[in-house]
Chains A and B, each alone.
Chain A
Amino acid sequence: MSVFDIFLQQLVNGLVLGSFYALVALGYTMIYGVVKLLNFAHGDVYMVGGFVGFLVLSVVAPMVGPGWTGVAVSMVVAMIAVGFLGVVIQRVAYQPMLNAPRLSILITALAVSLVLQNGVLTLTHGQYQPMGADLGFGGVNLGLLFISYNQMILVGTAAALMIALELFVSRTQYGRAMRAISIDKDMCRLMGINVTAVIAVTFFIGSALAAAAGTMAGAYYGSVWYFMGFLIGIKAFTAAVIGGIGSIPGAMLGGLILGLLESFGTQIPGIGSEWKDVFSFAVLILVLVLKPTGLLGKSEQERM
């Protein structure tokens, strides 16, 4: 394979990886926008999404087959179920903490993450669960480059979800309220916006996007397990920081950039794939040093 071949192939890999990161990063950034909370449990919400998708797929596979139809059904069910899980988490754990010191909120978020992680660990005894999706190996050969249908559908679905989100945030009443709350929550309350409801909707959407990514990742990589949300949680946060935390287009951009950086970074001689995770972390530190507001983020005014 020539260098150009490798370049193109890594471009495709980077796009697939970047779609996952972007979907999870969106939840981070949206939730951060409305409640200024770094939701540590978000990676685990993604993991739970993968497991719900796995369960639904094993139920519907005998009826509609384990192909893309089955995965699509599982994904939609997982999105709805995990969306409600996100709302429940917000109500039970975060709502009572809204006025607590920041440290307490962060620890609560960590506790939620641990409950989800260890809950699934206990239920599955820490085993990988094979997803059993049969997506086929077909694809398009573009001379130098082979793109599988799976990769196309995956990136396409992610793009569709992001476009839908963008339309929701920019065109609907709830989207407008969401943007307003991220600027000044108290003022929104005075203006008659039902802040609690909008926060719930935000958690629903953010969690549903993570669940979509979780189900697709399970189908694409072939299995789910209780710890799958941990690394992607850190990486999606990195993506959100690259794009500028609180910025929705930033999260999409950051996800793609990180996906591409990672797939190209592992091709640099001396940085093998075992250093992949170290690489993305180094990116995070660099961004925090050089441009902590990210590419599309607004510089944050310190409260006084």
Chain B
Amino acid sequence: MAQPRSNAFNNIIAQFDEPWKRYAAFAVIVALLLIAPISLGPYATVILTNALLYVVLALGLNVVVGYAGLLDLGYAAFFAVGAYTVGILTHTFGLDFWLTLPFAVGAAMIAGVIIGTPTLRLRSDYLAIVTLGFGEIVRFSARNMEITGGASGISGIQQPWLFGWHINTPFEFYYVFVVLAIIAVIVSVRLQHSRLGRAWLYVRHDEDAAEAMGIDTVRVKLAAYVIGAIFGSISGAFFAVNLGAISPESFSFQQSVLILMAVILGGMGKIPGVILGAFIVVLAPELLRDLGEYRLLLFAVGLLLIMLFRPSGIWPVRGK
């Protein structure tokens, strides 16, 4: 990987390489997140909640793409699995939201194993297109089945209670997503430095050498895929109770692409980069309202330029 050239932007980034500066920056960001809704008002709060949702989703996809180096083009499918599991179980079967979470996680794990096991044995290209197909299948199924409410989806999903506290205003949901994002960051950091994280690094750089060193590459890759699925599913669960209504169109190919862009634009594999990417993907359209339908084209061109001229993203992993 080419060393990032020295310029003003890289110098600013390099400031955060020292741990204490990084922790200080982290504390400042968390503090800013906590006071943001009070100072910015309700509209900005909803947008920021959305950005935090994307942070969780992007960190989950980052485990698959950034850590294990596998391309997943149907990540929205797991997002959908989580949202629909919660939607169906709370709305149709009347279960409590917190009780449905394990089911959402379980469903995503099963889906991940079914898709991952046959494809991860093959070349990584296959996974990309199989996940692309899987994303579409989940959306098709949601649209054509009765239990998922067909094209109109499920509405009237109950907002959850937590120890007698009814989470039902946008502000309360904002703080729920702050907590979720912080948990996602902590889990991502711990995963990266775990034995599994080092195995991913190895597999990403040289799969054959990794296998020769006794790493079960298929299992390691499957672990990444399933962990990514769990992140997606949990995001979907909270997405469902936040909006109160879900429909198949929330989980389209465009959704998968946006999440992937969040991972790549900021810098695959590096947590601050991924968070930055998620905020860019959500906030850019808000700041550039006039663009309208040019938005996706602009993102697409940006993605192409990033891949050609700065393949490791805006905030890349340093000298590996």
Contact = CB atoms under 8 A, between A and B. Distances in A.
Interface in B178-213: 208
A159 interface: no
A38 B297 contact: no
A100 B118 CA distance: 26
Interface in A257-304: 274-275, 277-278, 281, 284-285, 288-289, 292, 300, 302-304
B125 A119 contact: no
Interface string A228-246: 0011001001100100000
Contact of A108 (B122, B140, B308): B308
Interface string B102-121: 00000000000001001101
Contact of A234 (B133, B260, B293): B133
B132 interface: yes
Given A93-B308, A106-B71, A304-B208, A281 B137 contact: yes
Interface of A: 38, 40, 93, 96-97, 100-104, 106-108, 110-112, 114-115, 117-119, 121-122, 125-126, 230-231, 234, 237-238, 241, 274-275, 277-278, 281, 284-285, 288-289, 292, 300, 302-304
Contact of B129 (A100, A101, A234): A234
Interface in B250-270: 253, 257, 260, 264, 268
Nearest to B124: A102
B128 to A, nearest CB: 6
B293 A110 contact: no
Interface SS of A by simple majority? helix
Contacts of B132: 234
Contacts of A278: 137, 140-141
A288 to B, nearest CB: 5
Contacts of B249: none
B33 interface: no
A237 B311 contact: no
B65 interface: yes
Nearest to B118: A289
A289 B129 CA distance: 15
A112 B140 contact: no
A288 B126 contact: yes
Contacts of B115: 285
Contacts of A292: 121-122, 126
Contacts of A103: 65, 69-71, 124, 268
B136 A234 contact: yes
Nearest to B263: A107
Contacts of B297: 115, 118-119, 121-122
24 contacts: A96-B308, A97-B307, A97-B308, A101-B69, A103-B71, A103-B268, A104-B307, A106-B128, A110-B303, A111-B303, A114-B303, A115-B300, A115-B304, A118-B297, A121-B293, A274-B140, A277-B137, A281-B133, A281-B134, A281-B137, A285-B130, A288-B118, A288-B126, A292-B126
A193 B165 CA distance: 73
B10 interface: no
A234 B74 CA distance: 12
Interface string B286-315: 000000011011011101100110010000
